[in-house]
Amino acid sequence: MNMGSEENKTTVKDPLPLQKVSGARKRAAARVISELCTGCRICVQTCPSDCITIVESDLNYTGIAQVDESCTGCNICAIDCPWTGVEMLNPDGSRKDEAEYERQLKRLRGYQ
């Protein structure tokens, strides 16, 4: 956990940590919507790639999630976040249509 480090402090206008989302990247990548994230840590526990950490934030006492560049674009965090605090960005920076992973949600959890 990266709590407590000044350089990890994140504000509402935090820079996109996934520079790879453009250029050579071919898959979507997760991005936390700071204003919606409650720091509940659910995504930290469910990410199969262990690429989400909680960082300090002015937004709440529990911090907010931040995704690093090893994100594989699997959609799991976007599916699991109870606050719709994760969006999936295509390699061109556009937002992935949620309908594209609603089918995945049904397959994984048996409901939509």
Contact residues toward ligand SF4 (CB under 6 A) are: 30, 32, 37-43, 47, 49, 51-52, 65, 67, 71-77, 81, 83, 85-86
User: Is 101:78 a contact under the CB 8 Å cutoff?
Assistant: yes
Closest separation in Å from C-beta 73 to ligand SF4: 5
Closer residue to ligand SF4, CB minimum distance, 25 or 71 = 71
- Which of 52, 60, 64, 76 has its CA nearest to residue 14? 64
Angle 73-31-11 from CA coordinates, rounded to 5°: 160
Closest separation in Å from C-beta 35 to ligand SF4: 11
